[in-house]
């Protein structure tokens, strides 16, 4: 056989092998996706009990501004209340695919009575994505830029992070946490994770056939990193219910969440999903030197309770775990799924700080 014919034969068998590999991968993906789809359709229809007043667009005075970041991206910031008239300022940091509207239940609860700052994570809402590939370090650097611009000298922030917002706080602590008690008075970490967030989610069932196990990793990557536009319809709402909320959810909450997530830029969603695949900010908790509350819903599939257990253990070992709250039946969107309980927690944290400073 000539070298030319040998090369042709090698190419032929290479093509056959690649086709078999592609077919096997497709089969694994189909089985894994089908297993997840079955779980999606097991969820009951959401409870249609009318709109949730807590989620209405705030009617009190809200100020918008922009904050520049080290790489030149502009972040959209909203604020309410008199920042100069309080020692403690709530800084609310939303999660992946959300925007500042995520915090409507908190803005409406406090109104003008408590100064609040919130910002759209880069690429979300009205914030620019910027010229550089998003990284977990960038989350903390963006928060630092917001704190520098929005928190007056002598004031302190109460950092409240949901999901990627909690990861933002831990990333910030890794990089800027030295002496944090001079700038931050308390932290609330809600429905978040310090490491392995993509790999340790519970969206994809564990009881898969051995053949389909590799398809789980493929589906994880597709779910977090595919820049696919998301419509708003009955099917996406059903998926959103499964992914983000507890099994027994209000229709108003499902629709609010579906609309918000679908509005996120596909490019930003994919870029940040890819960045979170290598998440490890656990060492940020070693820099925390202020009371920290950990919150998780017992039905959270995106950041299940094992993440909260891990963070609470790390904080408790150093004496900085203020509290560990579990909201029975709540999914990933606890700040509005359980807004009454969550707002009560924030009230208690602020009251304790006020008593400690005598203000």
Q: What is the token pair recorded at 6? A: 């040998």
**End-to-end alpha-carbon separation of the chain, Å?**
91
Nearest in space to 341 (alpha carbons), one of 190, 240, 116: 190
pLDDT digits (tens, 9 = 90+) for 22-39: 554 565 656 666 777 888
Domain residue ranges in the chain:
53-197+259-357
pLDDT digits (tens, 9 = 90+) for 238-287: 999 999 999 999 999 999 999 999 999 999 999 999 999 999 999 999 99
Q: Over the chain, what is the mean pLDDT? A: 89
Taking the C-alpha atoms of residue 100 and residue 336, their distance in angstroms, rounded to an integer, is: 13
Phi, psi (degrees; rounded to nearest 5) at 336 = -115, -20
pLDDT digits (tens, 9 = 90+) for 47-105: 999 999 999 999 999 999 999 999 999 999 999 999 999 999 999 999 999 999 999 99
Looking at residue 84, what DSSP letter applies? G
Taking the C-alpha atoms of residue 163 and residue 194, their distance in angstroms, rounded to an integer, is: 10
Greater confidence, 230 or 145? Answer: 145
Greater confidence, 17 or 281? Answer: 281
Per the CB < 8 A criterion, the answer to whether 301 and 205 are in contact is no
pLDDT of residue 154: 94
Helices (H) and strands (E) in the chain, counts: 11, 8
pLDDT of residue 267: 96
Taking the C-alpha atoms of residue 162 and residue 95, their distance in angstroms, rounded to an integer, is: 5
pTM of the complete model: 0.90
pLDDT of residue 72: 96
Q: Give the DSSP H/E element, type plus range, for residue 297.
A: strand 292-297
The CATH T-level fold of domain 53-197+259-357 is Rossmann fold (3.40.50)
Output the CA–CA distances (angstroms, integers) from residue 197 to 119, 175, 318, 334, in the order listed: 23, 20, 23, 17
pLDDT of residue 358: 73
Q: Is the pLDDT of residue 203 over 90?
A: no
pLDDT of residue 27: 58
Taking the C-alpha atoms of residue 2 and residue 114, their distance in angstroms, rounded to an integer, is: 82
Q: What HEC string does 111-138 produce? A: CCCCCEEEECCCCCCCCCCCCCCCCHHH
pLDDT digits (tens, 9 = 90+) for 296-345: 999 999 999 999 999 999 999 999 999 999 999 999 999 999 999 999 99
Nearest in space to 298 (alpha carbons), one of 259, 337, 255: 337
Taking the C-alpha atoms of residue 167 and residue 193, their distance in angstroms, rounded to an integer, is: 7
CB count within 10 Å of CB 231 equals 8
């Amino acid at each position: 056989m000539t070298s030319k014919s040998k090369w042709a034969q090698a190419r032929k068998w290479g093509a056959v092998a690649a086709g078999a590999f592609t077919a096997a991968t497709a089969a694994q993906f189909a089985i894994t996706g089908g297993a997840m789809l079955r779980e999606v359709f097991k969820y009951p229809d959401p409870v249609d009990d009318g709109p949730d007043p807590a989620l209405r667009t705030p009617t009190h005075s809200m100020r918008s501004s922009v904050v520049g970041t080290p790489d030149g991206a502009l972040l959209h910031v909203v604020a309410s209340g008199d920042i100069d008239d309080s020692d403690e300022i709530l800084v609310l940091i939303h999660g992946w695919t959300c925007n500042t509207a995520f915090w409507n239940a908190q803005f409406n609860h406090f109104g003008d009575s408590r100064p609040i700052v919130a910002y759209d994570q880069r690429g979300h809402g009205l914030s620019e994505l910027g010229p550089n590939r998003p990284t977990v370090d960038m989350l903390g650097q963006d928060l630092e830029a917001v704190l520098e611009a929005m928190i007056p000298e002598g004031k302190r922030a109460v950092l409240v992070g949901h999901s990627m917002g909690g990861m933002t706080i831990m990333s910030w602590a890794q990089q800027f946490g030295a002496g944090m008690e001079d700038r931050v008075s308390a932290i609330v970490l809600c429905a978040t994770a310090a490491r392995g967030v993509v790999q340790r989610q519970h969206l994809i069932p564990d009881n898969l056939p051995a053949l389909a196990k590799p398809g789980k990793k493929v589906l994880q990557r597709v779910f977090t990193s595919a820049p696919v536009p998301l419509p708003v319809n009955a099917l996406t709402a059903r998926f959103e219910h499964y992914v983000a909320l507890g099994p027994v959810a209000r229709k108003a909450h499902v629709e609010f969440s579906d609309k918000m997530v679908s509005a996120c830029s596909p490019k930003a969603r994919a870029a940040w999903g890819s960045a979170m695949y290598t998440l490890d900010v656990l060492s940020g908790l070693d820099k925390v030197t202020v009371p920290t509350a950990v919150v998780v819903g017992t039905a959270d599939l995106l950041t299940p309770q094992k993440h909260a257990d891990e963070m609470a253990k790390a904080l408790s070992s150093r004496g900085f775990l203020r509290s560990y709250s579990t909201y029975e039946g709540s999914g990933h969107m606890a700040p509005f799924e359980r807004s009454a309980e969550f707002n009560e927690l924030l009230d208690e944290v602020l009251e304790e700080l006020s008593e400690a400073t005598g203000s």
